Chains A and B, each alone.
Chain A
Amino acid sequence: MQPEQQGIDVAVLVSIGRHPTTGRPRRAEQDARGLELALAMEAELPGTRISMLHAGPQDDGSEAALRGYLGMGLESMTLLEQPEGSDAIPALATHLATAAPQLVITGARAERGEGSGLLPYALAERLGWPLVNGLAAVESVENGVVTLLQALPRGQRRRLKVRLPAIISVDEAAPAARQSAFGPARRATFSMAATHPEADSELAQWHLAPARKRPKRLKIVKSASARDRFKAAASKSEGKGGQVLTDVSPEEGAEAIYKLLKEEDVLR
C-alpha cells in the first residue's frame, strides 16, 4: 500500500542580510538557502505549504531585502513588525506557537547585529522542539518523521531521523539559493502581524565596533638558552623526521601503510 503523501506546514524564518563589502541590506545568504530547501521540498512533496516569517522594522531598506526572498517564488510573507533593537525571539516564539508549523527552517546565524546563532536554539528551547543544525538536504517526510542529511566537516554527510515538529538550521552546506525574480518580487504582498515588542536591553549595553583584524599569532619559543631561541628564530624547521622503510618487500611496506591508515581511522 502506498502511503498517501501529505504535505506539511513549513515556516521559513528570514532575516535582513548585509552585503560583506558594501554593507547594504540584502537577502541573507543562509536564510535564502533555507528558503531554497523549503521550495525544493514543496516541489518534491505536493501539498507542502510554505510560510515565510520576518520579525523586524518595516522600512525601505528592509523591504527591498525581503522582496529578494519573495522573488524566489512566494506570493506573500508575514512580517512581525517591531522597532529596531527589539528582541526577535519572543515575537517569533509566540507566533510559531500559535501558527504551529511542523517544520521550521532558519539560517544558522544572522549577518547583522549580534549574529550569535542563538535564535534557533532559543526557539527550540522555548517550543520544546528538537533541533538539527548544519543541514544539507531533506530526504523524505513520512508519518511525522523527517529524514535529513546533515553536513559534517570534510564533505561528509550523516543521516538523521527527527520527529516533527522540529527546527532545522541551514548553513553553507545546503544547496545554493536560486535567483530572485524582480517582477514576482514586486507583486508579492506583506501581511502584517501585531506583536508585543520587547527591547533587547542587554545588547544595547554592549559596545559594538567594526571588526578589527585579529593579531597574528607569534611563534614564541620559551627556552632557557639563547642558542635554542636563536636556532628557533633563524633556522628552517627540519620536520620531525618520520619513519623511513628501506629495503622492504612491497607487502611489508603496504602493511605499515595499512596500519597507519587504520590508526587514523580513514578506511571505511
Chain B
Amino acid sequence: MSEIIRRDPRREWIARNRLHPDNATVLAEMSGGAVSEWLGPNGVVRKNPRAIGFIGPHGVRRIDRSGLQQGGQSPGAAAAARDSRRTVTIDAPAFLVAVVPDMTGGRLSSQDKDLLGLARRVADADADQPGAVVAILFGEHKEDALGEAGVDRVVHLEDERYSGFAPEARLAVLSAVEREMAPRFWLLPDSPLGGADLGRRLSLRLGERAATGVWQVEADHDAPLGWQCTARGGAGSLDIQRPLPRVALALAECAEPVDETRHAAEHLTLSASIPTNLSRIEDLGQVAVDPAGVALDEAEFILSGGNGVKEWDAFHHAAKVLGATEGASRVAVDDGYMARDRQVGATGTWVTARVYVAVGISGAIQHLQGIQRCDKVVAINLDPGCDIIKRADLAVIGDSTQILAALVAMVEQQRGGQRDAA
C-alpha cells in the first residue's frame, strides 16, 4: 500500500451530512466498525457525537461511557474480561499445603473452594517463598476448574477401593502422601461423613491434635507454624484461639475462594505403592430409602407439583418411578392435593435439593425463595413467560402430563434394559 492518504470528497460529504440516506453505512465503513469514531484524512480521530449511545426505553438517548457499547470491540473486550485471571505457576515450592476436598457429587463444593482459598492464603503468605497447594482427590470427578480454584498439584486416585466408605484405604493414601511429600499443613473440610471423619483419623495417625471447626486463620509470628486460628468448640458455644496445628478441619466460609489467579493443577503420581491391608469395615452399599420418608428440607431430588398438574395419580406414579421426594406449591396444597408438610416456599419448607423438578409451577416469588439453594432446577410448564423459566436450568414448554408420562416410560424402559443385561 502507498503511504498517500486518498480522500473521497463525496464520502466525506455523506459522512458529514446526517440527513443523507447512506450516512450510517458510510460512517460505519470509515470507522471500521465503531460508528462514532473514525480516522480522518489527516490521521486525526474524528468523532460523531450524535452516533454515540443508544435510545433508551423512554426515547431518551443514553450514553454508556464504560466502553462496552463500542460496536466492533465488544466481543473481544468481553472475552478479555472473562480471561482476566493471572496465571501462576510455582515450580519449586518452599513447602506444600495438602488439601483433601470432599468433591460431593464429583465437583468442588463451595466449602471445598473456601478451603482451597484458605490453603492459598497459607501458601502465599510469603511472596518470596510461595508454597504449593496439593489436592488429593479420590474417585472419579467432573471438575475441570481445579486450577481456577487454586490447586497447583493434583494427586488423583481413581481406584475402585477408594469409593464408598473406605476410611482405612483413604488413610493409607494420605499416610503415603505424608511420607513422600511431607506437607507442612493438612487442610480438610469439617463436613460430616467427608473431611470431618477422614481428617480426624489422619490427625490421630500423624499424632497431631487437630484444630476442628476452624473459621478464622491469622498470621502470628509467635506461633510454632506462624499461624493462629480461631475454632468453634463446645457444640458451637465456644471460640478457641490456638496456634494452627499441622492438621486443621475448617468450616464453610473460612476464607474467600480464589478468584484472581489460575494455577497449574499439574498431575502427580505417588511413586511408592500403597499397601492394601484388609479392611475391617465392609461397605455393602447404599440402602434404598423410601423417598417419601425423607424430610423435604434434606431431600436430594424433589418432584414438585403445582397448579398446572391435572392428573395427580400420574404425578405420584412419576415420583415413585423416578425415586423422587414429592413437593408441592402453595396452590396445590391449598386445593387439597398435597399435605401441608410438602409445601415448598417461604411459608413452607426451604429446600436444598440438588435437582428440583417443578411441574406446572409458575414460580411465585415465595416459591422461588424456597428453592434458592437448589442446584439444578428443571421446569415443565405450558407458559414460556413465567418466572420459573428464568430460574430454571432446563425448561420444557409443553403439557406436563404427557412429558411426565414420556419420562416415566423412558426411565422404566432403561431400568428394564439394565435388568435384562444383568
- Chain A residues close to B by CB (< 8 Å): 18, 20, 23, 109-118, 121-122, 124-125, 130-134, 147, 149-163, 166, 171, 202, 205-212, 214, 217, 220, 222, 224-228, 238-251, 253-258, 260-261, 264-268
Is the CB–CB distance between A157 and B193 below 8 Å?
A: no
Is the CB–CB distance between A152 and B398 below 8 Å?
A: no
Q: Can you identify 29 A-B contacts, CB atoms within 8 angstroms? A: A18-B235, A20-B235, A114-B240, A116-B231, A121-B201, A125-B205, A153-B192, A153-B193, A155-B298, A158-B286, A158-B287, A159-B285, A160-B283, A162-B280, A171-B192, A202-B209, A206-B240, A208-B238, A211-B232, A224-B84, A244-B384, A245-B397, A248-B396, A250-B399, A253-B406, A254-B403, A254-B409, A261-B322, A265-B105
Interface mask (B200-212 → A, CB under 8 Å = 1, otherwise 0) = 1101110001111
Is the CB–CB distance between A152 and B286 below 8 Å?
A: yes
**Chain A residues with CB below 8 A from B241, complex form:** 206-209
Is the CB–CB distance between A264 and B234 below 8 Å?
A: no
Is the CB–CB distance between B411 and A258 below 8 Å?
A: yes
From DSSP, what is the main secondary structure of chain A's interface residues?
mixed
Q: Which residue of B lies closest to A162 (CB)?
A: B281
Is the CB–CB distance between B403 and A257 below 8 Å?
A: yes
Q: Which residue of A lies closest to B191 (CB)?
A: A153
Interface status of B376 (Cβ within 8 A of chain A): yes
Is the CB–CB distance between B398 and A253 below 8 Å?
A: yes
Is the CB–CB distance between A160 and B165 below 8 Å?
A: yes
Is the CB–CB distance between A251 and B234 below 8 Å?
A: no
Is the CB–CB distance between B378 and A260 below 8 Å?
A: yes
Interface status of B300 (Cβ within 8 A of chain A): yes
Is the CB–CB distance between B235 and A225 below 8 Å?
A: no
**Closest Cβ of chain A: how far from B327's Cβ, in Å?**
14
Interface status of B301 (Cβ within 8 A of chain A): yes
**Chain A residues with CB below 8 A from B204, complex form:** 118, 121-122, 124-125
Task: Give which listed residue, B197, B395, B405, contacts A245 with CB less than 8 A.
Answer: B395
List 13 extra interface pairs beyond A111-B234, A125-B205, CB under 8 A. Answer: A110-B234, A113-B233, A117-B200, A117-B212, A131-B201, A157-B287, A161-B281, A208-B240, A224-B84, A244-B395, A264-B354, A264-B375, A266-B355
Q: Which residue of B lies closest to A123 (CB)?
A: B204
Interface status of B299 (Cβ within 8 A of chain A): yes
**Chain B residues with CB below 8 A from A220, complex form:** 256
C-alpha gap A255/B235 in the complex (Å): 47
**Chain A residues with CB below 8 A from B57, complex form:** none
C-alpha gap A202/B65 in the complex (Å): 60
Q: A161-B284, A250-B403 are in contact. Are A134 and B192 (CB under 8 A)?
A: yes
**Closest Cβ of chain A: how far from B83's Cβ, in Å?**
13
Task: Give which listed residue, B239, B259, B298, B411, contacts A212 with CB less than 8 A.
Answer: B239
C-alpha gap A226/B241 in the complex (Å): 39
Interface status of B95 (Cβ within 8 A of chain A): no
Which interface residue of A23, A224, A260 has the most chain B CB atoms within 10 A?
A260
Interface status of B33 (Cβ within 8 A of chain A): no
**Closest Cβ of chain A: how far from B261's Cβ, in Å?**
12
Is the CB–CB distance between A253 and B322 below 8 Å?
A: no
C-alpha gap A163/B322 in the complex (Å): 36
Is the CB–CB distance between A114 and B193 below 8 Å?
A: no
C-alpha gap A133/B10 in the complex (Å): 85
Is the CB–CB distance between B193 and A134 below 8 Å?
A: yes
Task: Give which listed residue, A114, A134, A226, A241, contacts B233 with CB less than 8 A.
Answer: A114
C-alpha gap A206/B209 in the complex (Å): 13
Is the CB–CB distance between B395 and A257 below 8 Å?
A: no
Which interface residue of A124, A214, A220 has the most chain B CB atoms within 10 A?
A214
Is the CB–CB distance between A159 and B396 below 8 Å?
A: no
Which interface residue of B232, B235, B392, B405 has the most chain A CB atoms within 10 A?
B235
**Closest Cβ of chain A: how far from B317's Cβ, in Å?**
14
**Chain A residues with CB below 8 A from B210, complex form:** 116, 118
C-alpha gap A166/B407 in the complex (Å): 45
Interface status of B196 (Cβ within 8 A of chain A): yes
Is the CB–CB distance between A253 and B323 below 8 Å?
A: no
Is the CB–CB distance between A156 and B357 below 8 Å?
A: no
Is the CB–CB distance between A257 and B357 below 8 Å?
A: yes
Is the CB–CB distance between B239 and A246 below 8 Å?
A: no
- The list of the 7 closest CB pairs from A to B, nearest first, reads A254-B406, A155-B294, A253-B396, A242-B393, A250-B402, A254-B407, A227-B66
Q: Which residue of B lies closest to A265 (CB)?
A: B105
**Closest Cβ of chain A: how far from B188's Cβ, in Å?**
13
Please report which residues of chain B, range 205-225, place their CB below 8 angstroms from some CB of chain A when the two chains form the complex: 205, 209-213, 215
Q: A113-B234, A115-B233, A254-B407 are in contact. Are A149 and B239 (CB under 8 A)?
A: no
**Closest Cβ of chain A: how far from B333's Cβ, in Å?**
21
C-alpha gap A88/B390 in the complex (Å): 56
Q: Which residue of B lies closest to A165 (CB)?
A: B280
Interface status of B125 (Cβ within 8 A of chain A): no
Interface mask (B76-106 → A, CB under 8 Å = 1, otherwise 0) = 0000010010000000000000000000011
C-alpha gap A212/B64 in the complex (Å): 45
Is the CB–CB distance between B281 and A257 below 8 Å?
A: no
Is the CB–CB distance between A250 and B405 below 8 Å?
A: yes
**Chain B residues with CB below 8 A from A212, complex form:** 239
**Chain B residues with CB below 8 A from A121, complex form:** 200-201, 203-204
**Chain A residues with CB below 8 A from B300, complex form:** 154-156, 266
**Closest Cβ of chain A: how far from B243's Cβ, in Å?**
9
**Closest Cβ of chain A: how far from B153's Cβ, in Å?**
26
C-alpha gap A206/B299 in the complex (Å): 40
**Chain A residues with CB below 8 A from B406, complex form:** 250-251, 253-254
